[in-house]
Amino acid sequence: MADGRVERGNQTRRTVLARTVDLASTEGLEGLSLGRVAGDLGLSKSGVFALFGSKEELQIATVRAAAAVFAAHVVQPVHEAPAGVGKVWRLCELWIVYSARRVFPGGCFFHSAAAEFGSRPGPVRDRIAAARAEWAQYVEQQLREAERAGGFREDAEPVDVPQLAFEIIAMMELANSESVLHDAPTPYERAGRGILGRLRALAAAPADLPEQPPAVPLPG
């Protein structure tokens, strides 16, 4: 019986977080409340409170749940791929698809969450900052592994990996914000061309990369 109660609690927690990640991506983490979520899902407020305890705990749990969704769509599909510039491009392509197809209704969850909590010190901001830092570090790691695998030209200046990672992430995030604002796919196409241009200019074998990014239609 105890195991059954634990599993029901875990299932309710998953149901709540599936709702809150979508809500937060469009209305912001600050718009979450235990009562709102309980009402949306037909649950008791006391039951949701028992699972999360406070609005802040609900917000942090939502950020963690969003990170798991992000990893499933962007990171895990390339996890076993061999190191190289092609893997870096595939990672970027998956990010663009994740944003363009609105895995979260409001576009990239972490871009909007960072804008919302960037100037609000506290545990929620710390969790968002940590998630974004982990992503930037992962992109840098893939670039360094590509460099060690001989993926970059040896007749050029050494690649400034942190700078290149910053540029790649900046192009993707600008595409996200512009596409969400204007409901258009063009920003993703421009970001894809920009990222491919940077990678092809540095690649030891640019022919291994596509000349143009594939079209990424918006949902609906």
Cβ within 8 Å of residue 220, ≥6 positions away: none
pLDDT at 3: 64
Whether 180 has a pLDDT exceeding 90, the answer reads yes
What does DSSP assign to residue 152?
A: B
Whether 4 has a pLDDT exceeding 70, the answer reads no
Q: pLDDT of 97-141, one tens digit each? A: 999 999 999 999 999 999 999 999 999 999 999 999 999 999 999
pLDDT at 141: 98
| Domains, the chain, ordered by start | 57-208 (1.10.357.10)
The CA-CA-CA angle for residues 15, 21, 22, to 5°, reads 95
CB neighbour burial string for 41-63, b if at least 16 within 10 angstroms, e if fewer: eebeeeebbebbeebeebbbbbb
Largest CA distance in the chain: 67
pLDDT at 220: 58
Query: What are the structure tokens assigned to 207, written together?
Result: 């022919």
77-83: Cβ within 8 A, 24+ apart: 82/149, 83/142, 83/145, 83/146, 83/148, 83/149, 83/151
